[in-house]
């Protein structure tokens, strides 16, 4: 049993066998109550957290808090690769629209295509809802760019503005320390200065 628990902890990101051992002994020797709470919280989450039926992010309700929030601007739809990207954008506090989560990126070699990313759902959304702008916030990687391109091609049939988040020099960063690809992107995506 101890061995099994150890292995289970090891499967978590950032947890090696030493740390796992510390968790196990801590719970067994000093905090049985906490252990029970952890077990219950885990069972609850595993049983009840699913994907929001509107934006596909993780949610314990059928419709997540952001989708259910009428104050948020549903004419803007920000498309991200993962639920953690939503978290990152939310922390910035500058975006008031809604989201759509792909749970990955297009990867033909791995067999991940449009269906796996829920792009037919996205197409339905664009067809049926009054979305005025989609913001392609996939990663600044080749795969993220391919995915953005594919979605923009699909979205062209609708009367919707298609934008892509800017890529460039990090705030507080100095030009001489940026890598050449970042500089190339920053230059090609330059804007009028006002």
Partner 1 sequence: MTKVDLTPAFLIHRRAFKESSLLLDFFTLEYGKIRLVGRGLRKSKTNIQMFQCLNISFSGKGELKTLSNWEVDDTPRIIKGEALILSMYVNELISRLLFDQDPHFKLFEIYKQFIVQITNMNQQAGYWLLRLFENNLLSELGYALDLSHDINGNDINKNNRYEYQHQLGFLHADTGKISGKLINQMLIEDIENMPDAQQLKVCRDLNRQRLNPLLGNKPLKSRSLFFTK
Say which entry of Zn ion, partner 1, none residue 179 contacts (CB below 5 to 8 A, set by partner kind): partner 1
User: CB neighbours of 148 closer than 8 A, spacing ≥ 6?
Assistant: 136, 138, 164
Q: How many residues are given for the chain?
A: 194
Minimum distance of partner 1 from residue 125's CB (angstroms):
20
Minimum distance of partner 1 from residue 98's CB (angstroms):
26
Minimum distance of partner 1 from residue 60's CB (angstroms):
25
User: Is 175 among the residues that bind partner 1 (CB under 8 A)?
Assistant: no
Count of residues in contact with partner 1, rule CB under 8 A: 24
Q: What angle do CA 132, 137, 138 make, to 5 degrees?
A: 130
Closest CA to 105 of 144, 131, 77: 144
Closest CA to 64 of 115, 98, 92: 98
d(CA 185, CA 175): 13
Q: Which of residues 58-77 bind Zn ion (CB under 5 A)?
A: 64, 67
Binding residue for partner 1 (CB under 8 A) from 108, 174, 176, 191?
Answer: 108
Report the interface residues with Zn ion, using CB under 5 A. Answer: 52, 54-55, 64, 67
Report the interface residues with partner 1, using CB under 8 A. Answer: 13-14, 106-111, 113-114, 141-142, 145-146, 149-150, 179-185, 188
């Amino acid at each position: 049993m101890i061995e099994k628990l150890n292995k289970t902890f090891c499967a978590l990101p950032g947890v090696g066998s030493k740390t796992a051992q510390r968790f196990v002994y801590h719970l067994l020797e000093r905090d049985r109550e906490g252990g029970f709470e952890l077990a219950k919280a885990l069972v609850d989450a595993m049983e009840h957290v699913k994907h929001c039926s509107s934006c596909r992010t993780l949610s314990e309700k059928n419709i997540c808090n952001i989708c259910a929030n009428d104050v948020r601007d549903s004419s803007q739809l920000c498309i991200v690769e993962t639920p953690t990207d939503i978290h990152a954008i939310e922390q910035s506090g500058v975006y008031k629209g809604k989201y759509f989560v792909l749970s990955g990126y297009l990867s033909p070699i791995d067999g991940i295509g449009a269906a796996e990313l829920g792009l037919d759902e996205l197409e339905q959304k664009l067809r049926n809802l009054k979305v005025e702008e989609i913001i392609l916030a996939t990663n600044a990687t080749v795969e993220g760019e391919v995915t953005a391109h594919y979605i923009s091609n699909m979205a062209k049939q609708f009367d919707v503005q298609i934008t892509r988040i800017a890529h460039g020099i990090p705030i507080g960063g100095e030009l001489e320390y940026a890598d050449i690809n970042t500089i190339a992107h920053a230059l090609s995506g330059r804007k009028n200065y006002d």
